[in-house]
Amino acid sequence: MSDLLRDAVLMIAVAALLVAVTVALVKATELIPRRFRESATAAIFLFPAIIAVVGGLLIPALRTIFLSLYDDTGTSFVGLDNYAEIATNNNKRLSVLNSFLWVGVGSVLTLAIGLSVARFADGMKRESAIKSAIFLPGAISLVGAGVIWSFVYAGPPIDIGLLNSVTDVIPGLPASVGGDGDRLWLLERGFGGADPPSAAPGFNSLLLIVIFVWTQAGLAMVLLSAAIKGVPRELIEAARVDGASERQVFWRIVVPAVRPTIAAVLTLTTVAGLKAFDIVSVTTGGNFGTSTIANEFFVTRFVQGRNGLGSALAVLIFALVVPVVLLNQRQERTHQVETGR
Amino acid sequence: MRRTTLWSREKRSAGTAAAARLTSPAGRLIVLSLAVLWTVPTFGVFVSSFRPEADVKGTGWWTWFLDPNLTLDNYRRVLSSSPGEDNMLFFVANSFRITIPSVFFSIVIAAFASYALTWMRFRGRDWIFVGIVALLMVPLQMALIPMLQVFTGGAHIGSVRIIPDLDLTGTMPGIWIAHTAFGLPICIYILRSFMTTLPGDIVEAARIDGANHLAIFWRIILPLSAPAIASLGIFQFMWIWNDYLVALIFVGRENAPVTAQLATVTGTRGQSWHLLTAAGMVSMILPIAVFLGLQRYFVRGLLAGSVKG
């Protein structure tokens, strides 16, 4: 309790100081010539924000790029060696492939589910209850999501796992897909007799991606259903009058009209997928071939203490995020030009 | 007052019923099964958290309906502060200590900046805004390592010390700074987007009446921005409350938030794994309550802030 109180006092003191300094400085601008006053006031208003983003994001990001070109002690320049290690080290390469799987499967599945709910739930009985149910996982932490799904995927010695209980009662299911009801879902990489080579993502990675989709689908649904509601009614009515079926209206009118939102959803899930850390860390810790770039970043830097290689992994995440975001922006602009909206 | 599409998308219901006037039985089936599938995992943990230890370990939660035993023992244990117990309440308090100041600072600082970027005329204004928005793309992983180095050892160029060793690692101010810095681009983006929709005439009139920027900011723009600030506040609150990575790096065990404690417990509970159900529910109860109670604001903030990096 005393900690809470101390922090509250500290917070209020800092905020009061910030406001007091701002007020005093703005008052002081009355002493300088009128034509400089506006710029000076703007500088005062912007100062804390600029310090925070330059000092807390821009410079650190540049320094991470710099560190990624040095060895782990940060003393000798090694060029692209750290990146070469990511490409050649089996674990690191597998984590990159896993991340691609997260992005590819994760974003497409999220989009498909978000779009289905956005399309079909409208006008259904208990529409808002259904939407809340889909969205709820998006409100809880990824750590919490990992814990919840650990109970679904649990295997021996814990024998109350939901998935095992389901596959157990399905008659005729071969043991290779969990038919005997005691599969270790998050540990076993093979599935249905197919055994992926150790350099390739395993089936257990797909199960982790399911958790990810579970947390992301609500956001996709909210964005898509807002966009669908924004499609001009005249367009849809006109298509109906012309004899288009509901399915045609959806695929030919609604989907093209919400294309920017579809792209935004894909972009958001791609970026989120590239940063996937919490789910992996809390379920498998990146073991059993399930590591992702973001998990590898954490382990490499904060468990193994390797600055150079860790920085290179961070830069890799950044390098993969940027083109996706820029591509999304470009297509949004083209769409605006095309539709005049 | 006219609002932008950004904030009122959900209200513009031109194509609402039109898009899917008649949901086919197949569509209805898909949606219903998705809703069930999406609910079952959480519901299972919820039910399990109220079952006696022997029941949780012996039978699946779905058998509870046949054999309904209820107990609060799991909660009593995870909330207990006795040695060896999870002490979740302590970590919930830590989450508040981390989240509230971080949200508060990022919004106060963003409000000042957004005002300047919207209502003041000065050279380079648009460039500064574009620069800040561009930083949305920077994943926070890019900033973690150098920031931690500064917190533990200060910073110097050559031999000149430019930032002293503040020894912020593991402290609350350290993580407040981190969360504030990481959250500012999105806060500024959202608040500025909102402020540009406010009518400029009011500001002009106030200027003519001799009000200075501070007065306009405080008396006019802030009150008018209240809905945007509320949505943004909820959005930031949820984001920081649910954060794990930043907390893992910037605060130690003493100050760990509830997410970090849940992750720790997950890895170390061993024989008492049944307690994870209650620990998990304790860590989620607040976000779930906020979501259910303030859904409208939350969704609005989400629509505006979904670009968070």
Q: Is the minimum CB–CB distance between A268 and chain B shorter than 8 Å?
A: yes
| Cα(B55)–Cα(B51) distance, integer angstroms | 6
Which residue of B214, B245, B291 is in closest CB contact with A26? B214
Q: What is the pTM of this model?
A: 0.91
Q: Which helix (H) or strand (E) holds A333?
A: helix A307-339
List Cβ neighbours of A9 (8 Å cut-off, separation of 6 or more). Answer: none
Q: What is the pLDDT of residue B3?
A: 35
Q: Provide, as residue numbers in chain B, all residues whose Cβ is less than 8 Å from the Cβ of A152.
A: 41, 44
| Cα(A227)–Cα(A278) distance, integer angstroms | 30
Beta-bridge mates of residue B156: B161
Whether residue B14 and residue A231 make contact (CB cut-off 8 A), yes or no, is yes
Q: Provide, as residue numbers in chain A, all residues whose Cβ is less than 8 Å from the Cβ of B120.
A: 38, 41-42, 45
On whether the CB atoms of residues A206 and A222 are closer than 8 A, the answer is: no
CB crowding A130-158: b at 16 or more within 10 Å, else e: bbbbbbbbbbbbbbbbbbbbbbbbbbeeb
Q: Give the distance from residue A197's alpha carbon to the nearest chain B alpha carbon, in angstroms.
A: 28
User: Which residue out of A132, A160, A249 would a mutagenesis test of the B interface target, given it has the greatest number of B Cβ atoms within 10 Å?
Assistant: A160
Whether residue A57 and residue B182 make contact (CB cut-off 8 A), yes or no, is yes
Whether residue A46 and residue B284 make contact (CB cut-off 8 A), yes or no, is no
In terms of phi and psi (left: phi > 0; alpha: psi -120 to 50; beta: otherwise), the region of A79 is: left
Q: Provide, as residue numbers in chain A, all residues whose Cβ is less than 8 Å from the Cβ of B172.
A: 7, 10
Q: Is the minimum CB–CB distance between A133 and chain B shorter than 8 Å?
A: yes
Identity of residue B280: G
By CB atoms closer than 10 A (0-12, 13-18, 19+), residue A25 is: middle
| Residues comprising chain A, all counted | 341
pLDDT tens, residue by residue, B191-220: 998 899 888 898 889 989 988 899 999 999
Q: Give the distance from residue A322's alpha carbon to the nearest chain B alpha carbon, in angstroms.
A: 6
Contacting A residues, span 90-109, partner chain B, CB-CB under 8 Å: none
Q: What is the pLDDT of residue B18?
A: 45
By CB atoms closer than 10 A (0-12, 13-18, 19+), residue A19 is: middle
Q: What is the pLDDT of residue B22?
A: 55
On whether the CB atoms of residues B99 and B241 are closer than 8 A, the answer is: yes
On whether the CB atoms of residues B143 and A57 are closer than 8 A, the answer is: yes
Q: What is the pLDDT of residue B5?
A: 32
pLDDT in tens, chain A (341 residues): 677 888 889 999 999 999 999 999 998 988 888 888 889 999 999 999 999 999 999 999 999 999 999 999 888 999 999 999 999 999 999 999 999 999 999 999 999 999 999 998 877 878 888 999 999 999 999 999 999 999 999 988 888 899 999 998 888 888 888 888 888 999 989 888 888 888 899 999 999 999 999 999 999 999 998 899 889 989 999 999 999 888 899 999 999 999 999 999 999 999 999 998 999 999 999 999 999 999 999 999 999 999 999 999 999 999 999 999 898 888 878 887 777 65
Q: Give the distance from residue A285's alpha carbon to the nearest chain B alpha carbon, in angstroms.
A: 9
Per DSSP, the three-state class of A190 is coil
Q: What is the pLDDT of residue A3?
A: 79
Per DSSP, the three-state class of A295 is helix
Q: Which helix (H) or strand (E) holds B173?
A: helix B172-195
Q: Give the distance from residue B37's alpha carbon to the nearest chain A alpha carbon, in angstroms.
A: 9
For A66, the closest chain B residue by CA position comes to B146
* Cα dihedral: B115, B118, B122, B123 (round 10): 120
List Cβ neighbours of B55 (8 Å cut-off, separation of 6 or more). Answer: B64, B67, B69
Nearest to A43 by CA among B113, B185, B187, B221: B113
DSSP string, B34-45: HHHHHHHHHHHH
Whether residue B41 and residue A140 make contact (CB cut-off 8 A), yes or no, is no
Contacting A residues, span 178-217, partner chain B, CB-CB under 8 Å: 214, 217
pLDDT tens, residue by residue, B22-63: 568 888 899 999 999 999 999 999 999 999 999 988 888 998
Which residue of A39, A214, A250 is in closest CB contact with B38? A214
For A142, the closest chain B residue by CA position comes to B242
Identity of residue A140: I
Q: What is the pLDDT of residue A177?
A: 86
Which residue of A122, A124, A144 is in closest CB contact with B19? A122
Q: What is the CA radius of gyration of chain A?
A: 26
Chain centroid to Cα A320, Å, comes to: 13
A to B CB pairs, distance under 8 Å: 351
CA atoms within 13 A on the CB side of A95: 30
User: Tokens in use for B305?
Assistant: 């802030």
Contacting A residues, span 17-76, partner chain B, CB-CB under 8 Å: 18-19, 22-23, 26, 38-39, 41-43, 45-46, 48-50, 52-53, 55-61, 63-64, 67
Per DSSP, the three-state class of B160 is strand
On whether the CB atoms of residues B278 and B92 are closer than 8 A, the answer is: no
Whether residue A38 and residue B121 make contact (CB cut-off 8 A), yes or no, is yes
Nearest 5 degrees, angle CA B141-CA B146-CA B147?
85
Q: What is the pLDDT of residue A2?
A: 77
Q: What is the pLDDT of residue A4?
A: 81
On whether the CB atoms of residues A258 and A224 are closer than 8 A, the answer is: yes
List chain B residues with pLDDT less than 50. Answer: 1-20, 308-309
Q: Provide, as residue numbers in chain B, all residues whose Cβ is less than 8 Å from the Cβ of A226.
A: 9-10, 303
Whether residue B23 and residue A122 make contact (CB cut-off 8 A), yes or no, is yes
Whether residue B15 and residue A231 make contact (CB cut-off 8 A), yes or no, is yes
Q: Is the minimum CB–CB distance between A324 and chain B shorter than 8 Å?
A: no
Whether residue B30 and residue A38 make contact (CB cut-off 8 A), yes or no, is no
Q: Provide, as residue numbers in chain A, all residues whose Cβ is less than 8 Å from the Cβ of B53.
A: none
DSSP string, B198-226: S-HHHHHHHHHTT--HHHHIIIIIHHHTH
Which residue of A3, A18, A229 is in closest CB contact with B12? A229
